[in-house]
Structure 1
């Protein structure tokens, strides 16, 4: 599933292509959504919040999309073959005189009044990539710990209602960097260590946004069976959360053992 860094880069690309321009083509292939709501509107900005994309317009309407597991937005020159949007997997097409954006395999799509965006994203925790967000003990206490401190830390990191933007990659790698066993209950981890976990995830994502996704260095994520970069032990994987929301979490059973913890 695309994580906060991918959404932030996607929003930047769409903002560059559409901000200040009039939507001359709107094709939303989603039940109950009216294309005419956005047609002719000027895009004011495109922003990301956690794993959600918000295309805001001067008409006071917002297009919200979520990529889920396989979704993506691709930008092509208007009039080019790539801009036709004929694939059966296309769920949305937005176009201006210069650029056309094609939304493939989108998992969610809504058009709401901009003033009502909170109805769709108000349940989310703070966006870890918010430029003004400071990761500190207060953030950990209020949002990560909250009223469910017995939750395993890996599952808490994946819970978008606590902190938005972290997926399996940054949950796995931030816990590896900080030597925390993924199934340790939040309450059993010192608060300063939880601050370090969140700050590490934030730093890794910010680096990917600044330097591009090619700068990502997967430390344990998707490295099942390969040697740990620290100790050489084979990386393993377990499922976090219950079906149908289960997600793989990768870790080093030596560096992140329940006995070693964060020593």
Structure 2
């Protein structure tokens, strides 16, 4: 699932292309929305909230979309060939100069703009909220510390605590703070620093497609541990390990360096699959 910075950048690009423009074509091809035609509507704004996008129109309605695992928004000039099959398109918003196509958008809803909170009101503070201040930080910290008996790696992914962190930043934040993803939140030495680091990393990459946590943009040099299972740690040379964390549909692979991130860890057999509960 895309990280919050990817959704933020998508929203920024859609805003630049559509805001203030009248739609000459406004097709919604989602089964629940096919009767709606947005042609003639003016796009007022495109706003990202965590991993959610809202395209706001001049009739006081918003189109909500969530990319999930395989969704994406593409921008084209009218008449250009689409990079994904037309049958995957769920929304086509076209102005005189640009065409925005939403592919594989399983979550798509048209609702009154005044009711956007119905879909995002449960979220924790958005780490990329342009209005972020001490109040947001304090609320994120409160929600974070309330999960004291939960594993750090799981809490970082919980959008109800703070919105925007995905699997990549979960792994990188844990590494940079020197903490095992299986550390209980109540044992995290400086929770506020964890939140601040997550926000810093997202901000660092919010306006570019590359997601670097090392400060390097060269291919294969962007990350400390994420997707580097079995390779040597850039700091200590220990082989990076990977294992699933979470249960059922919420299980995700997490990467960590046992040398730089001491603490609880699962039993991982050859092949990298998690076997059993983490040692405490």
Q: Structure 2-normalised TM-score?
A: 0.85
Moved more, 61-70 or 213-222: 213-222
Per-residue deviation, 1:134: 3.8
- Equivalent-residue separation in structure 1 for 2:137 and 2:75 (angstroms): 40
Moved more, 34-43 or 159-168: 34-43
Matched, 1:149 2:145: no
- Equivalent-residue separation in structure 2 for 1:179 and 1:94 (angstroms): 45
- Equivalent-residue separation in structure 2 for 1:198 and 1:107 (angstroms): 30
Question: Where does 1:135-214 land on structure 2 (aligned, <5 Å)?
Answer: 138-146=138-146, 148-190=147-189, 193-210=190-207, 212-214=208-210
Per-residue deviation, 1:122: 0.9
Which residue is equivalent to 1:223? 228
Which residue is equivalent to 1:67? 67
- Equivalent-residue separation in structure 2 for 1:37 and 1:149 (angstroms): 48
Note the residue ranges of structure 2 that are not aligned, 5 or more in a row.
213-221, 265-280
Note the alpha carbon deviations across 1:127-155, whole angstroms, 9 max, x for none: 01112324787234422123x32110110
Per-residue deviation, 1:61: 0.5
Matched, 1:247 2:252: yes
- Equivalent-residue separation in structure 2 for 1:149 and 1:107 (angstroms): 33
Q: Is the 8 A contact 1:38 1:61 kept in 2?
A: no
SS at match of 1:88: helix
Which residue is equivalent to 1:78? 78
1:58–1:143: structure 2 CA closer, same or farther, 3 Å change rule?
same
Which residue is equivalent to 1:109? 108
Q: Is the 8 A contact 1:23 1:40 kept in 2?
A: yes
- Equivalent-residue separation in structure 2 for 1:3 and 1:137 (angstroms): 19
Q: Structure 1-normalised TM-score?
A: 0.91
Note the alpha carbon deviations across 1:51-99, whole angstroms, 9 max, x for none: 111101111010010111121111000122339x752222211111111
Note the alpha carbon deviations across 1:202-260, whole angstroms, 9 max, x for none: 111111124x133522111111111111101111112222111211111111111217x
Which residue is equivalent to 1:29? 29
- Equivalent-residue separation in structure 1 for 2:251 and 2:210 (angstroms): 27
1:138–1:81: structure 2 CA closer, same or farther, 3 Å change rule?
closer
Which residue is equivalent to 1:234? 239
1:134–1:225: structure 2 CA closer, same or farther, 3 Å change rule?
farther
Question: How many aligned positions are there?
Answer: 255
- Equivalent-residue separation in structure 2 for 1:18 and 1:166 (angstroms): 27
1:37–1:87: structure 2 CA closer, same or farther, 3 Å change rule?
closer
